Structure 1
Amino acid sequence: MTIRNAVKALAPYRFTPHAEPVKLDQNESPDDVPATLKARVVKRLADGAWNRYPDLTPTRLEARLAEHAGWDPDGVVVGNGSNTLIQALTVVAALGRRVVTVAPTFAVYATQARLLDAELVEVPLGPRFALPVEALRAVLAEGDGAFFLANPAAPTGNLFGAHEVAPLLEAAASGTLAVLDEAYAEFAGGHLTELVARHPHAVSLRTFSKALGLAGARVGYALAHPEVARELRKALLPFSLDLWQLTVAEVLLDEPALVTERVAHVARERARLTERLAALPGLEPFPSRTNFVLFRAPDPAALHAALLRAGVVVRRQDHLPGAAGCLRVSVGTAAENDTFLAACRSALEAGADAAAPSTGGPR
């Protein structure tokens, strides 16, 4: 069989679905799209022609996104989720070259590098997931390719400041396409749009999956200089977004107040989660500017299993470099977060009771 060795060597992307009622493992919005907006989408779809292809280039949606972001419409590229755009960016800039990123980070960067025969260079994050600016600058000066940086970071949740990112964009200018994956930026107070605009080789990658609550629709977009955007479109399959994706994205863009409300909820609950986790014995939450909190536990496997038994699913991250002992919990509704915290407390207390030495006397 003539399958490429690079493909055979890859482990397939796997995600274990769980039926637990409190689902806090995929960094999704805790609230669904309101029924009134769903009805609006259905009405538009019913009025559309289903026998015709959607727009080859979704110029109307791109124009709306350009207005929303304060960007040149010719530099907006919409794709079937951010993952598709990550793949296309790797094809455009890193095929047979290099992909530079940090570790730990979003797994798709490394997967696409290996799949597309790009050398993968992963620079470890520093203590408490600090950005290794000088080490990255040295690596970026060595060759061509693509540089992917999630900011705010995933799965760690911390935010890198513009003063840290700017030197990296400058170091990449000699031959590297610098991609800032800003999937969680709404939760951190905004994007680094002006910084990206100052660098013709820089791209801002954004998504409808997080703050806009449309993980089910798979809509992502890139803001790039028009010259880069023109090349990026060549690497995307034609008609990559269907009629439903285009329609629901446009409807959600009409509701900025909904996004503002969701972001405010996440900020409140994230602060409460962090404070309450820190008060539980043995747990260490890390600062987050996203819609999730990474925290360290004495026995992450045991805690994960105990939470599942209590009907709560979170994500194990203890297999990642630099994240030993860590679990990740999405910010849910207030009730979901309460259930999670209570289950954590019960699991930790049960573990402490099991570990306590017996006195041998009556109780």
Structure 2
Amino acid sequence: MKAIKPHLLALPDYPYTARQALIKLDQNESPYGLPPELKAELAARLEALPLNRYPEMHAERLVERIADFEGWPASGVVVGPGSNTLIAALVTAALRVLDVQPSFVHYKHVADLLGTPYRAVPLEEGFKLPVEGLLAALEEAETPGVFFLPNPHTPTGAFFVPERVQVLCEAAARHDWLMVLDEAYYQFAPSDLKRQALGQPHLAVLRTFSKAWGLAGARAGYLLASDEAARVVRHLMPPFGVPAPTVLAVELALEHPGYVTEAVEKVRRERERVYLELKAHPSWTVYPSHTNFLLVRTPDAAAAFEGLLKRGILVRRQDHIPGLEGAIRVTIGTPVENDAFLQAAFELAKEEKEGEGAASED
């Protein structure tokens, strides 16, 4: 392995291991997806697709559709096979990366892969935005770079109010940083900052079709940025990188956005119901969320994960992330799936109490 860059040999794998379960609540996917009539329409369009031909170089037709949908100049739109690829391109272009902690692990993962200097400022108590710490980091860096801020925040589900984020946007401009607002979950939150970013060369917005749109399997995300930033990112994306079937699926979804509004409302209602019921759990602490998932602090994340899995429910452990000791993350599913999760959660609490009672008798 002497031909390989030495630092790559020691890097850990991306922190996800696939497991099988009857109820899958581990990857923040939509429980609904495309409605049946749209699936039938997509099948008809796919049948006519010439798969022997390459797709467009940079999904130019889809870029135009997204630009119309978002009210953004097409020259500032970049589409990729998932927003992860756009994050990788941004980190590749960056002199350094600034982040918060905890955060979406892919920012640091790519920075480590590329050997890009990386710094994370811990969130304040209650997962609040550390404005003062981030202002200092923006000012103190030897060179500017790319500052990623997921809002709503993953993996906590917190929403950073626009007024506090705007302070950081202004600081990013003063110090020549590119601030990337990762709005993967914006449909589930009270507001977003797309309008503030329009026409601001130091701001960019990342969005995805994997969450509210229910197209995680299609793999499509996009960047809204200045012409100059978009051009650089586009250079770093592989040619013909967005598959033609993905383009068809996203185009169809954009033609019928109403189904997303309905799905989001269902998830919001269920999120609040599950949150309120979990607040009664005797040993777990659930945090408010503005996403399609809930972060839950448990006495033992491994025990909670395995206990749920034995009952056919797959969630995501988060206890490997600094500041999230004991935490698991639970995607909001259908009402039936959520009921099964709640039943299992309280069964585990009962078992835990019985175990404590037996230990005290011994």
Compute the TM-score of the two structures, normalised by the length of structure 2. 0.95
1:161 corresponds in structure 2 to: 161
Deviation at 1:14, TM superposition (A): 4.6
1:219-238 to structure 2, matched below 5 A, reads 219-238=220-239
Worse-matched range after superposition: 206-215 or 62-71 = 62-71
Partner Cα distance (1:124, 1:238) in 2: 37
Moved over 3 A (4+): 357-360
**Letter matched to residue 171 of structure 2:** A
Distance in structure 1 (CA, Å) of the matches to 2:330 and 2:358: 32
Q: Is the 1:81–1:218 contact (alpha carbons within 8 Å) kept by the matching residues of 2? A: yes
Q: Map of 1:45-64 to 2, 5 A cutoff? A: 45-64=46-65
Higher mean alpha-carbon deviation, 118-127 vs 62-71, is at 62-71
| Cα distance in structure 1, aligned partners of 2:144 and 2:206 | 20
CA contact (8 A) 2:308 2:345 kept: yes
Counterpart position of 2:145: 145
* Residues 248 and 290 (structure 1), Cα distance of their counterparts in 2 relative to 1, 3 Å cut: same
Say if 1:204 and 1:359 are closer, same or farther in 2 by CA, change over 3 A: closer
Give me the whole-angstrom Cα distance separating, in 2, the residues matched to 1:284 and 1:349.
16
CA distances 1:288-332 after superposition (whole Å, capped 9, x unpaired): 000000011122221211111111111111121111121110000
Partners of 1:337 and 1:127 lie apart in 2 by: 29
TM-score, structure 1 length as denominator?
A: 0.95
Moved more, 299-308 or 21-30: 299-308
Match of 2:279, SS?
helix
CA distance in 2, matches of 1:211, 1:84: 19
- CA deviations on 1:101-150 (whole Å, 9 max, x unpaired) are 00110111001111112111011111011110011011112231111111
Distance 2:216 2:358 in 1: 48
Kindly tell me the number of residue pairs found equivalent between the two proteins.
358
Q: 1:128 aligns to what SS in structure 2? A: coil
1:117 and 2:128 correspond: no
* Range that drifts further, 27-36 or 313-322: 27-36
| Higher mean C-alpha deviation, range 201-210 or range 113-122 | 113-122
The answer on 1:15 being equivalent to 2:16 is yes
SS of the residue 2:126 aligns to: helix
Q: Aligned partner of 2:337: which letter? A: E
> Which sections of structure 2, spanning at least 5 residues, go unmatched?
none
Identity of aligned residues (%): 45
In the TM superposition, 1:1-363 aligns within 5 A as 1-92=2-93, 94=94, 97-141=95-139, 142=141, 143-173=143-173, 174-357=175-358
Q: Distance in 2 between matches of 1:359 and 1:90?
A: 53
Secondary structure at 1:135 match in 2:
helix
Say if 1:137 and 1:168, in contact at 8 Å, map to a contact too.
yes
CA distance in 2, matches of 1:48, 1:269: 38
SS at match of 1:50: coil
Structure 1, unmatched stretches of 5+, are none
